[in-house]
Structure 1
Amino acid sequence: MREITVHLLRHGAPIREGLMLGRTDEAPLPSGIDRCFARAEGLDIAAVVASDLARAALPAARIAASIGLVPNFDARWRELDFGHWDGQTPERLPREALARFWQDPDRNPPPDGERWSHLRSRVAAALAEIDRPTLVVAHGGSIRAALSLLLGLDHRQVWAFDLPYAALVSLRLWQGSIPTAQVTGLQT
């Protein structure tokens, strides 16, 4: 089997931090784009893939252009859709409902929102198409879904990872066996 390196880069800080940003297309701060660009410097990649939302797409476009690549924008790398909670601060949400969501996001998704299992399914499909060294610029939730799939961790375990804005996780995968991965680096 052929080894493939995949770098998962969380987007830079959005203009309004502290919100439940899923489908809301919040732009990144210019400093957030700069931080992502600096984090990706020197990576040996043949492709750049990103969520189609601005906070991931804009840094991906800048990174790709700097190395002569065209980014592929893929909605499967979007953040979990928080439904009616999208764009809200956690403090404004019903405390008990939010606690149930964090405890079991598959049984207790946000109202009209996405289940954790759906996020994992779309990320699994996107991962299965990676066939060369790739940088993926995505969101905290979709990166955690990828780590859950690749490392066999449940949602509580991957939510324990600190993935600040512009965090970079580098993985070595073996083509044809996506559930197997070896973490080679975590930079925050």
Structure 2
Amino acid sequence: MSAYMLHLMRHGAPEVAGRMLGRTDDPATEAGIAACVARAEGIAAERIAASDLVRARVCAAAIGEPRGVSVEVDPRWRELDFGTWDGLSPAEIYPAELAAFYDDPDASPPPDGERWSALQDRVAKALTAMPPVSTLVVTHGGAIRAALAELCGFDRRQIWAFDLPYAALASLRIWPGPTRTVQIVGLAT
């Protein structure tokens, strides 16, 4: 079967940047939306999908509308639920708890939040349901890391090594089939 491209883009900068924004539905700034549109220039995507959170949906719509491509909203691409940390800056979280989360986000999830394995499971389901056509997904940093772990086999320490600022773009070539092969062809930050 022929290869197809999968582009994973982090949404534009939200109005309240630098916080643990999981389920908090903070919108992207105008500059953040413009950064995503500029980053998507030159990407030939037959399909555009986005998280159901407004900061991702609006960026995806700004990319898709001038191309005549409608956005498929999929809540499986939503960010990790940070529980009681949601909306807090890292400085407002007890350092030992935050360090334990980054060391092992499955064994030490945010209080009342989602385990890493739950995020990875829903992202894996979204990937499995994808048709093998060139696709742009506008989503969140955690969901991109979960997709890279699923597609490339990165472990939890390796996924934190990727710098994924707002409007970052990871592009992968995927050969589908029983022994799926994935090649990372670009990481624009």
| Aligned residue in 2 for 1:105 | 105
Alignment of 1:7-18 (within 5 A): 7-18=7-18
| Aligned residue in 1 for 2:51 | 51
| Aligned residue in 2 for 1:20 | 20
- TM-superposed CA distance for 1:98, in Å, is 1.2
Q: Residue 83 in 1 paired to residue 83 in 2?
A: yes
| C-alpha distance in 1 between matches for 2:31 and 2:120 | 30
| C-alpha distance in 2 between matches for 1:180 and 1:146 | 14
| C-alpha distance in 2 between matches for 1:170 and 1:72 | 19
| Aligned residue in 2 for 1:74 | 74
Alignment of 1:89-128 (within 5 A): 89-128=89-128
How far does the alpha carbon of each residue in 1:126-148 deviate from its partner, in whole angstroms, 9 at most, with x for none? 01122211000000000010011
| Aligned residue in 2 for 1:153 | 154
TM-score by length of 1: 0.97
How far does the alpha carbon of each residue in 1:56-110 deviate from its partner, in whole angstroms, 9 at most, with x for none? 1001011111110110011110111100100011111122111111111101101
Q: Which runs of 5+ in 1 are unaligned?
A: none
| Aligned residue in 2 for 1:186 | 187
Name the amino acid aligned to 1:128.
T
- TM-superposed CA distance for 1:176, in Å, is 2.9
Q: Which runs of 5+ in 2 are unaligned?
A: none
- TM-superposed CA distance for 1:180, in Å, is 3.1
The change in CA–CA distance for 1:177 and 1:20 in structure 2 (over 3 A counts) is farther
- TM-superposed CA distance for 1:175, in Å, is 2.2
- Name the SS of the counterpart of 1:56 in structure 2: helix
| C-alpha distance in 2 between matches for 1:76 and 1:178 | 24
TM-score by length of 2: 0.96
| CA RMSD, Structure 1 to Structure 2 (Å) | 1.1
How many aligned residue pairs are there? 188
The change in CA–CA distance for 1:112 and 1:46 in structure 2 (over 3 A counts) is same
Contact 1:128 1:178 in 2 (8 A): no
| C-alpha distance in 2 between matches for 1:47 and 1:105 | 31
- TM-superposed CA distance for 1:178, in Å, is 7.8
- TM-superposed CA distance for 1:179, in Å, is 5.5
| C-alpha distance in 2 between matches for 1:14 and 1:178 | 38
| C-alpha distance in 1 between matches for 2:179 and 2:108 | 28
Q: Residue 142 in 1 paired to residue 136 in 2?
A: no
- TM-superposed CA distance for 1:41, in Å, is 1.2
- TM-superposed CA distance for 1:3, in Å, is 1.1
